[in-house]
Amino acid sequence: MDTTEELTGRLAELSRKIESLEQTVRRSIEATSQMHVDTLVEGTRASMLASLVRHVQDDNLATLEDGMPRSCEMHERCKDKLALILRETMEVLAGEQGEDALEDKKRELSSLFASAPFEACAFCKERAEELLEKQIRLMRSMRLYKTQDQERQDISCICSDVVVTDILEPVANKQRLYMLQSLARQTMTFSALSELTGLRGGNLLFHLSKLIEKEMVIQRHERGDYMITERGYRTLVALGELASQM
């Protein structure tokens, strides 16, 4: 029979093996969780970007249709060509193809009006250039596109007041966090958010205003759907990563 000393040694060895196994399992779980977070993040970003591109394209078409002189014999041809250039510019921005590709689209737009035959062409050119710049500002404001010299701010440089007021407080409420998570999957109407959260009228508007004020959510247009911004999306990603490490 084994002596007490031998049994104690075997138990100690067994304990070390169990501890090693636990560490291996823990690392495997953490790696799997991170892969799930990464997949979710990429899927959310792609969905949000596709939704934004569709919205901008629809808005461009409506603006061109309403803003270009209908009496002009070139109305339809120019509208289709301008819409195509604007759509291709959005694809350049969404694909982060760089400044050179973006400048090519600007030159293509300018060359379209190089030999414009009518006085009204100057108005259409100005309207198209405004739409193009609007696209660029929107993508940059949501950080879906950045210039080559645009750098991310180091988190160590952010003061505590900004972190608490602009990041933590907006998502410190369970209902607001739930809305943000839902908007990361799809755009939603006010009625849909009301049904989702159980909040009505002014109560729901109060919580939405908190998220909109801190640029985590935007409304497409008056009475339009609500959608998450890049700021809101990155806040969710950071919370997900933090939760997986706790």
In three-state form (DSSP H/G/I as H, E/B as E, the rest C), the secondary structure along 122-159 is: HHHHHHHHHHHHHHHHHHHHCCCCCCCCCCCCCHHHCC
Q: What is the pLDDT of residue 207?
A: 92
Please report where in the chains the tokens 């109305």 appear, as a residue: 75
Architecture label for domain 156-245: Orthogonal Bundle (1.10)
Among 31-45, 95-109, 180-194, name the most confident range: 180-194
Q: Percent of the chain at pLDDT above 90?
A: 9
For helices 99-112 and 120-141, give the axis angle rounded to 10 degrees: 160
**For range 138-144, the mean pLDDT:** 62
pTM value? 0.41
Listed in order, the ranges of the chain carrying CATH 1.10.10.10 are 156-245
What are the tokens at 2? 């084994």
Of 130, 142, 112, nearest in space to 63 by CA? 130
The mean pLDDT of 93-105, rounded to a whole number, is 75
Mean model confidence pLDDT for the chain? 76
Contact 244, 176 (CB under 8 A): no
Please state, in angstroms and rounded to a whole number, the distance separating the CA atoms of residues 131 and 57: 10
Dmax over CA atoms of the chain, in Å, equals: 107
In a 3-state reduction of DSSP, which class is residue 184?
coil
Range name among 12-16, 44-48, 190-194, 195-199 with the lowest pLDDT average: 44-48
**pLDDT above 70 (res 30):** no
Give the span between the Cα atoms of 160 and 179, in whole angstroms: 25
